[in-house]
Structure 1
Amino acid sequence: MKGQQEEYGEMVEIDVLPRPPQHYYQYDQPNSPHHNPYQHPDSDTSSSYRRRSPQELMSPSRPHRVPSDDYGSPGWPSPVASRPNSQLYLGEYGYDSRPSTPPQLRSPRPGAPFMHTNSSSFDSRPNFDSRPQTPMNQSHLSLAGLLPNGPAPMLDKDWVKPGTIARLHDRDDADIWKGWRRNFFKFTPFLTFFNMALYLLYLGLRIFCVISAQATYGTTYAAAWIFIAVEIAVAIPSMMHNFWTMWALKKRRRAKLRLTGYDVPTVDVFITCCGEDDDVILDTVRAACDIDYPRDRFRVLLLDDAKSKSLEEAVNNLSVSMYHNLYYLARTKIPGQPHHFKAGNLNYGLEQTHLLPGGAGQYMAALDADMIPEKDWLRAVLPHLMADPKMALACPPQLFYNTPPSDPLAQSLDFFVHVIEPIKDALGVAWCTGSGYVVRREALDEIGNFPLGSLAEDVATSTMMLGKGWKTAYIHEPLQFGTVPDDYASHLKQRTRWAIGTVDTAFKLNFCLWGDKVRQMTFAQRFSGFLYASLSLYTLLLTISLFAIPIILVMGKPLVAYANDDQLRWLIWACFAATMANRLCEFALFIPAGYHTGQRGSRYQLWMSPYIALCIVRAFILPKWLGGQAQAFKPTGSLDSKLNERDAVRRKNMLRRLWAILVNCMASFHLAFVYLTLVAVVITSYRCFFTQTGARNIITCLLTHAFWPPLTFLFIVSSLWTPISYAIDPPDVPEREQLLDRDSKTHVAHPTRKSKKIAFAGQAAWFEFEYTFATAYTILIFVVSFIF
């Protein structure tokens, strides 16, 4: 762990490789060293060599073709067209994509040279220029001319021409959600504004009534002030998200595109792994090799940071027998020298592509070890980069096929990928999602390749690209499916790593507010970078404020202060209006991801806050001699074996699970909060029943001490109970193989249709009952206020 601490603190400065001038060349001379002998038969084969303007290149009189203007040679060795008996392949959409296998491409020797970079800066710019010294290394040439003049109702075989970009629909998410949901979602910005206005009016009235009560009775209502502060603290994350959501008024216009034909760019597909199960990795490898893309136009490079002998042998066997465009690579890690985690692995892959036959590809794509791509993955993402010369990176959402029923730990990310990311994309702030993305090599060079020293290299990469004036795109299509962590401890480690990486990147980039590194960012991009880093830091205040409610209740002080009955009545009415507006706003906002998904996210913000706050304190506040450590959450103690929490047959008994989660994973904090709060509610209720006389006085006492609508303490308690309920009754998830459809001949596997959806189960029903009860209670109090 010491080595990780040392390299984590390396991030200091960011330098940028100089950006080469823009040149547009067309090479047609057969004897030229840059001549492409593998171009499509319909392409122009003029024997002249000359420089041409972008307008001439995009002239409709010439057949469409993809210029080789990015990285690497225009074509890789031994393409399909040069081999006899090559089989043409009609892809899913009926066009010729020819994914036939070229002659064997040998993997580099295990001892292939590796240029180690020992940099102390944030980006750790390599001491080599990863661009080939050729005028073909520019990617500024706009291919907007390849776009059809209008949207096509379907990708018809007679309509599509080789080498074009087909527009399937005006919206890339047309197949995900539509109909009345999309129409109702249009009102979200207005409902959000209305909700925030009512809530602020309610808080203003609360403050006015406390001041009035203090003036009337000559005393200080400290508990009422603390309760107001707690309500604000709990509401701030939602309000910040709501403020961001109001920007959804700006319509998102991202079309659904497909790259067709054979003349497509060359792509290096990286699959990064480090100790995952071989079966999981090999499923990703097979699916990546089996995508609907010409096999002589893409390579799959497995970057194994664990140097698994069994995995190397399996991949090499696949390379020899089936996929000759498959490589196994493992870098050499020198003891005592930082290896920079995933970013270092990716940069090693970028370097090694120049040593492979044909050089580096024009684009680079990346997949996590467990992310199985859909067959049209590259053909769906690449057009967005090709159509815009300033588009540096395009990424689809991370979706999962082993999410347990009801998703008790909110692992699915559905709210983020279906609501937040599309809004960010509309404002030009799409983040790199970490897997499934395709990136322009020139943009990577300008930021010095993947930034080193960060636990969130994906966020750092896209943020730095935006800071240099590049664009990023979010492709809202289901193009990859992976696996969520199948145990509680791994989930904590993953999420705290994301939080620390985001905050660390924000510190190094001045929260995207000023500095040369973010000079070309727009206001929306700066605000986004500031917002999401601030939300992670905000968990410190939220965690501290949580214990204020039980402490106030135990003291027996009222949570709500007022001077007279009229003020109490107005407070009830304002609370009712704010609660109803919030419920309606949530329903509209959560529509793209699903209503229950949004509710899970709200609870997750509360129960996960103590973990994130603890890791932030250790990483950024405490010195090392007081326990400071720049790392994600790590369970204390050790377990003899996995708990197998989600396996109905092999899971450990409940006492073992409770011990592991309460002690090793520190969920005892959650248990203490829940226990203390419930005891406080019982005590204060007892006082109201035995110190007050008359139904009206008892109800008023209960209302102002513990049961103020919409029962905030109940929502907080149920949220903080999540780890304990998970330990007592974990969800059942089938074996991974049961969630896959596997081809019996090729062994290529893709998730089943059912496994791609989150099943509704008892926990979701229970939380919905709780929400309905709290809403009904608020309505009841509103009605009773007219009677008493």
Structure 2
Amino acid sequence: MNGHYDDGGEMVDLNVLQSQRDQSRYTPEPITPLTSRPLIRGPAGFSEESLPSYPSYPSGVSGHMGLTVNRGYGEESVASGDYSRPTTPSLVPFHQNRSSDFSYHSQATLTNLVSKPPSPIFAKEWVEPGSIARIADRDDKEIWRGWKRWLFRAVPFLIFANTALYLLYLALRITCVVFAQQAQHNTFAAAWVFIAIEVATAIPSLMHNGWTMWAMKKRQRPKLRLTGNDVPTVDVFITCAGEDDDVVLDTICGACDVDYPRDRFRVIVLDDGGSETLKASVHHLTSTTYPNLYYMARQKIPGVPHHFKAGNLNYGLEQTHLLPGGPGQFMAALDADMIPEQDWLRAVLPHLLIDDKMALACPPQLFYNTPPSDPLAQSLDFFVHVIEPIKDALNVAWCTGSGYVVRREALDDIGNFPLGSLAEDVATSTMMLGKGWKTAYVHEPLQFGTVPEDFGSHLKQRTRWAIGTIETAIKLNFCLYGDKVKRMTSAQRFSGFLYATLSWYTILLTASLFAIPIILLWGKPLVAFSNMVQLRWLIRACFATTITNRICEFILFIPAGYHTGQRGSRYQLWMAPYIALCIVRSFLLPTWLGGQTQAFKPTGSLSSALEERDPQRRKNLPRRLFTILFNYMAGFHLIFVYATLVGVVLVSYRCFFETSGVKNTLICLVIHAFWPPLTFLFLCTSLWTPIAYAIDPPSMPDREELLKRDPKTGVAHPTERSKKIAFGAQSAWFELEYSLGTIFTILVFVWSFWL
């Protein structure tokens, strides 16, 4: 028997559960299965005459807010936009559950929802009374468990010990430099610069460690499911702007196919790209299979700001007032490429229904096309599996942009989605927290999308996030003061301040990177001391700091995976120049010097059409190298690595040929370039990432090979294998490098006893 065990040992028969779900899902008759991709892409013989006329609106809706019907193309023009839909069965339940004033105050209308007896299958001891079932005490029960959870509890104590040891080591380094200068009447400038660089590269880690200290607070987020058919109405928005039709259509079909009564939710495609082929395909799906599917495209007037995704979402919110029955009680949103799992709405909605102050609940963004080894650190696993759960424990959960469900009253309270930001999701959840609302992070795998498939798109995405976070922070005074954040807790204020500061910090980090090759070429000692006793204790303090840091990292990265955490550390270094450049252009440079708020754009005429992950169509090696080095400005990374390695070679040459005796040579090497744990090696391999990517980009199969498609309905979901990141050669290489650095640190520590 196919079953699932809860924390207390009770077993739920999943076969019976699926049967109940199948009976609860409303299926219109007749159904025309989508048996081939051409039907999804657009009906054959599509023409204006083939589109039926629009149904009339119910009493109390027609004409509201200046609605006009244009029969010229069988569609309606609503509020200077494009709202099109063929004749379909009217969604009567939406209308019957709404009065003419379009009230959607969810808590007032859902009072009885959580007071009814649970469905018989959920009538167990571990089920709370009502139609919301408590499946488990933890929503992440299926993600990670056992010894890993017990070990993770030691994280706060390890972080405290690691931070304390690092500060002691830093104090010892500074003291030794001061004593050396007094003893030799000389200034060790290189030693001071090296200390500054070590501090600069350690600050992001220390700040993150300070935040993760809050892991001491136990997270209390149960795994819930909304049962039965008496459920709230939901408007599901799918925002798109020029993505491939087949990608968007897979998301549309997945959203329409969720386990939720068909007459209780609508799927609304908000097409900012104005694709005629997508509109035709949505018409076909509406008329043949999904009567609750709508297509909308707003009109963009040249010269008038349209506010990107936030403007598109606000347009959709306005248009729901003109649909039959008015707006839904809740609004949900999906990115164009995010395919929801069937449990999506039933898993997320309960967290809003059990707490009338819960404004928004959001699951993690997970991906099914991440290449082996994830060379560009695109998976976000460390953020979604480590950082967000800690933020959720402190009631600081961010909206991550897709898969979230939001209470309409909360959106009204902040004036809908805030405009003027490249990160409307972060701005929305932050402003809700400032108004006293709560946000929740539902740590379940409920949606899977695609990462950018080329280097340029990845840079644009990540720099846009950084700029959007800073824009939001500036408008909210870095969450420190002001009316918009006056109801935030201290933890919420600290979180908002921290993540904005980390983005600004990339400027300092990039500047410090320039100093590495300079001091190596300079040839001066990086570590100063006045006697051998000081050198011995410096090495031992460095050993203690390095080893505790390795242990701390290993345990801290457990929820996301050890290699994921290491990728994130390298990503912070090689991505810093790009983020710093965009921040300087957006917030520091005046317009007449080229300043403008935008994400990273390649220079020159070449675009990101390298198709580097397609083994058949990728551009040749010279073209890839030229584009990434010059158009994507990775020349800085190449110069840094080359100059650093030249400096290491020159220093080593001097140590071998300008000193006598094995002991003196080894001391010279250690204090000039090879100070443990070989910082220069970690920096070089991290900064080499874009060049390595250009030389040997990962190969990925066609997207269709990563999906399991239902042959009858055409609905696709990622395969289990595609949801996991394969362990590739690059991960093995970095693990070898990291292990060698640790072994080298141990050997130097042992050698210190013979000094």
Structure 1 residue identity aligned to 2:386: V
- How far 1:100 moved relative to its partner? 2.5
Counterpart-to-counterpart distance in 2, 1:518 and 1:785: 53
1:113 to 78, 85, 108: 78
2:209 to 242, 265, 268: 242
Question: Structure 1 stretch 606-615 or stretch 639-648: which is displaced more?
Answer: 639-648
Structure 1 pair 674–132 and aligned structure 2 pair: CA distance change class (3 A): farther
Query: For 1:162-187, what per-residue CA distance to the aligned partner results, in whole angstroms no more than 9, with x for missing partners?
Result: 97000000000000000111110011
Look up the match of 1:404. Answer: 371
Secondary structure of 2:144's aligned partner: coil
Structure 1 pair 566–652 and aligned structure 2 pair: CA distance change class (3 A): same
1:197 to 156, 164, 167: 164
Counterpart-to-counterpart distance in 1, 2:159 and 2:264: 47
Aligned residues: 686
Q: Does 1:575 align with 2:542?
A: yes
- How far 1:681 moved relative to its partner? 0.4
Q: Does 1:725 align with 2:692?
A: yes
Counterpart-to-counterpart distance in 2, 1:761 and 1:153: 47
Q: Does 1:514 align with 2:481?
A: yes
1:563 to 514, 530, 534: 530
- How far 1:564 moved relative to its partner? 0.5
Counterpart-to-counterpart distance in 1, 2:455 and 2:119: 47
- Contact 2:361 / 2:441 at 8 angstroms: preserved in 1? yes
Q: Does 1:310 align with 2:277?
A: yes
- Contact 2:80 / 2:298 at 8 angstroms: preserved in 1? no
Look up the match of 2:318. Answer: 351
1:380 to 347, 358, 361: 347
2:24 to 90, 97, 101: 97
Question: Structure 1 stretch 133-142 or stretch 645-654: which is displaced more?
Answer: 133-142
Counterpart-to-counterpart distance in 2, 1:187 and 1:640: 47
Structure 1 pair 641–512 and aligned structure 2 pair: CA distance change class (3 A): closer
Counterpart-to-counterpart distance in 2, 1:685 and 1:133: 81
Q: Does 1:779 align with 2:746?
A: yes
Secondary structure of 1:600's aligned partner: helix
Look up the match of 2:190. Answer: 223
2:491 to 516, 524, 546: 524
- How far 1:93 moved relative to its partner? 6.9
Counterpart-to-counterpart distance in 1, 2:148 and 2:110: 34
Q: Does 1:170 align with 2:137?
A: yes
Secondary structure of 2:221's aligned partner: coil
2:434 to 450, 459, 467: 467
- Contact 2:456 / 2:608 at 8 angstroms: preserved in 1? no
Q: Does 1:769 align with 2:731?
A: no
Structure 1 pair 467–161 and aligned structure 2 pair: CA distance change class (3 A): closer
Question: Structure 1 stretch 545-554 or stretch 434-443: which is displaced more?
Answer: 545-554
Give the 5 Å matches for 1:604-643. 604-639=571-606, 642-643=609-610
Counterpart-to-counterpart distance in 1, 2:139 and 2:321: 34
- How far 1:336 moved relative to its partner? 1.1
Query: For 1:470-498, what per-residue CA distance to the aligned partner results, in whole angstroms no more than 9, with x for missing partners?
Result: 00000000000000000000000000000
The unaligned stretches of length 5 or more in structure 1 are 1-88, 117-130
Counterpart-to-counterpart distance in 2, 1:153 and 1:208: 71
- How far 1:334 moved relative to its partner? 1.1
Counterpart-to-counterpart distance in 1, 2:268 and 2:139: 29
Q: Does 1:752 align with 2:719?
A: yes
Counterpart-to-counterpart distance in 2, 1:152 and 1:705: 71
Structure 1 pair 259–151 and aligned structure 2 pair: CA distance change class (3 A): closer
Counterpart-to-counterpart distance in 2, 1:610 and 1:435: 28
- How far 1:745 moved relative to its partner? 1.2
Q: Does 1:392 align with 2:359?
A: yes
Structure 2 residue identity aligned to 1:436: G
- Contact 1:415 / 1:597 at 8 angstroms: preserved in 2? yes
- How far 1:113 moved relative to its partner? 2.6
TM-score, normalised to structure 2, is: 0.88
- Contact 2:102 / 2:326 at 8 angstroms: preserved in 1? no
- Contact 2:429 / 2:439 at 8 angstroms: preserved in 1? yes
Specify which structure has the higher proportion of helix: 2
- How far 1:638 moved relative to its partner? 2.6
Q: Does 1:645 align with 2:612?
A: yes
Query: For 1:571-596, what per-residue CA distance to the aligned partner results, in whole angstroms no more than 9, with x for missing partners?
Result: 00000000000000000100000000
- How far 1:133 moved relative to its partner? 7.1
Look up the match of 1:289. Answer: 256
- Residue identity over aligned pairs, in percent, reads 71
Give the 5 Å matches for 1:14-53. none
Structure 1 pair 233–150 and aligned structure 2 pair: CA distance change class (3 A): farther
Structure 1 pair 778–457 and aligned structure 2 pair: CA distance change class (3 A): same
- How far 1:644 moved relative to its partner? 1.2
Counterpart-to-counterpart distance in 2, 1:640 and 1:347: 31
Secondary structure of 1:547's aligned partner: helix
Query: For 1:495-551, what per-residue CA distance to the aligned partner results, in whole angstroms no more than 9, with x for missing partners?
Result: 000000000110010000000000000000000000000000000000000111110
Structure 1 pair 239–151 and aligned structure 2 pair: CA distance change class (3 A): farther
Look up the match of 2:178. Answer: 211
Q: Does 1:300 align with 2:267?
A: yes
Q: Does 1:278 align with 2:250?
A: no
Structure 1 pair 291–149 and aligned structure 2 pair: CA distance change class (3 A): closer
- How far 1:132 moved relative to its partner? 8.0
Structure 1 pair 598–258 and aligned structure 2 pair: CA distance change class (3 A): same
- Contact 2:118 / 2:130 at 8 angstroms: preserved in 1? no
Question: Structure 1 stretch 643-652 or stretch 776-785: which is displaced more?
Answer: 643-652
Look up the match of 1:587. Answer: 554
Secondary structure of 1:198's aligned partner: helix
Structure 2 residue identity aligned to 1:113: V
Look up the match of 1:481. Answer: 448
Structure 1 residue identity aligned to 2:18: E
Secondary structure of 1:481's aligned partner: strand
- Contact 2:456 / 2:602 at 8 angstroms: preserved in 1? yes
Secondary structure of 2:361's aligned partner: strand
Secondary structure of 1:92's aligned partner: helix
Structure 1 pair 155–660 and aligned structure 2 pair: CA distance change class (3 A): farther
The unaligned stretches of length 5 or more in structure 2 are 1-14, 31-51, 57-68, 82-97
- Contact 1:142 / 1:386 at 8 angstroms: preserved in 2? no
- Contact 1:99 / 1:292 at 8 angstroms: preserved in 2? no
Counterpart-to-counterpart distance in 1, 2:687 and 2:208: 21
Look up the match of 2:517. Answer: 550
Counterpart-to-counterpart distance in 1, 2:707 and 2:550: 37
Counterpart-to-counterpart distance in 2, 1:776 and 1:197: 23
Look up the match of 2:48. Answer: none
1:454 to 421, 425, 450: 421
Q: Does 1:677 align with 2:644?
A: yes
Structure 1 pair 315–551 and aligned structure 2 pair: CA distance change class (3 A): same
- Contact 1:144 / 1:387 at 8 angstroms: preserved in 2? no
Counterpart-to-counterpart distance in 2, 1:743 and 1:194: 53
Give the 5 Å matches for 1:175-186. 175-186=142-153
Query: For 1:17-47, what per-residue CA distance to the aligned partner results, in whole angstroms no more than 9, with x for missing partners?
Result: xxxxxxxxxxxxxxxxxxxxxxxxxxxxxxx
Query: For 1:55-104, what per-residue CA distance to the aligned partner results, in whole angstroms no more than 9, with x for missing partners?
Result: xxxxxxxxxxxxxxxxxxxxxxxxxxxxxxxxxx9863734523333999
